[in-house]
């Protein structure tokens, strides 16, 4: 069984923020596979189904981003999920807009949602699907501007780049489930295959 979690902040106010790209990707994926996030388990909305012969649980935590670990740890324990079978989709400000990077393990890289999950699981060996949201010029050391950036919406031009990427993440998830981590990394981490500026 795989647990696929998209990170974001709950509520309409945050729904189109860059920080909510994980939610957007899960929403697209469940729609494609006719899975409904109609159950509440712990602090998450979840849905279950079978994809490529594998049982899957898909989730959107209803905690705020910085407490994502509370929801993820509950689900991992409830469904007896090993780190290798946990896939977390999230934004990455240090990747160019539209870049996808799949990896297993590593640090939180400054992402508070991932930091919360690592802290709660006491393990960093889960799989991450990172989606680049870009970093605006001149904000590398300005925390207030970084926060403003991740909590703002995509511009019309950025949406033309990011919308196809959301579909591509669904393909990457299917590859992860059906063919495994190495195959997905080989196919989706290649820069030339990705839609970006």
Handedness of CA 7, 9, 12, 13 (dihedral sign): negative
Q: Residues 91, 133: contact at Cβ < 8 Å?
A: yes
Q: How many other C-beta atoms are found inside a 10 Å radius of the C-beta of residue 39?
A: 12
Place of tokens 């106010």: 13
What is the helix (H) or strand (E) element at residue 100, kind and residue range? strand 100-104
Residues in the chain: 197
Q: Which of 19, 90, 111, 149 is catalytic?
A: 19
Using DSSP's 3-state secondary structure scheme, residue 151 falls into coil
CA 29, CA 27: separation in Å to the nearest integer? 6
What torsion, rounded to 10 degrees, do the Cα atoms 104, 163, 51, 32 define? 160
Of 53, 2, 55, 6, whose CA–CA distance to 29 is shortest?
Answer: 6
Q: Is 149 a catalytic residue?
A: no
Q: How many other C-beta atoms are found inside a 10 Å radius of the C-beta of residue 138?
A: 8
**Looking at the annotation, which residues are catalytic?**
19
């Amino acid at each position: 069984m795989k647990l696929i979690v998209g990170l974001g902040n709950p509520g309409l106010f945050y729904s189109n923020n860059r920080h909510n790209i994980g939610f957007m990707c899960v929403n697209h994926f469940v729609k494609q596979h006719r899975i409904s996030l109609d159950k509440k388990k712990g602090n998450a909305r979840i849905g279950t189904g079978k994809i490529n012969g594998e049982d899957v649980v898909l989730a959107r935590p209803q905690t705020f981003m910085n407490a994502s670990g509370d929801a993820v740890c509950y689900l991992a324990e409830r469904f007896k999920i090993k780190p290798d079978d946990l896939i977390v989709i999230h934004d990455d400000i240090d990747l160019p807009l539209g870049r996808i990077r799949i990896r297993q393990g590593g640090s939180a890289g400054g992402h508070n949602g991932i930091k919360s999950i690592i802290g709660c699981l006491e393990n960093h060996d889960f799989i991450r699907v990172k989606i680049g949201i870009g970093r605006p010029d001149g904000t590398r050391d300005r925390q207030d501007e970084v926060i403003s950036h991740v909590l703002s919406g995509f511009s019309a031009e950025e949406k033309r780049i990011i919308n196809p990427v959301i579909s591509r993440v669904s393909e990457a998830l299917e590859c992860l489930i059906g063919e495994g981590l190495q195959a997905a990394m080989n196919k989706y981490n290649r820069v030339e295959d990705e839609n970006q500026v």
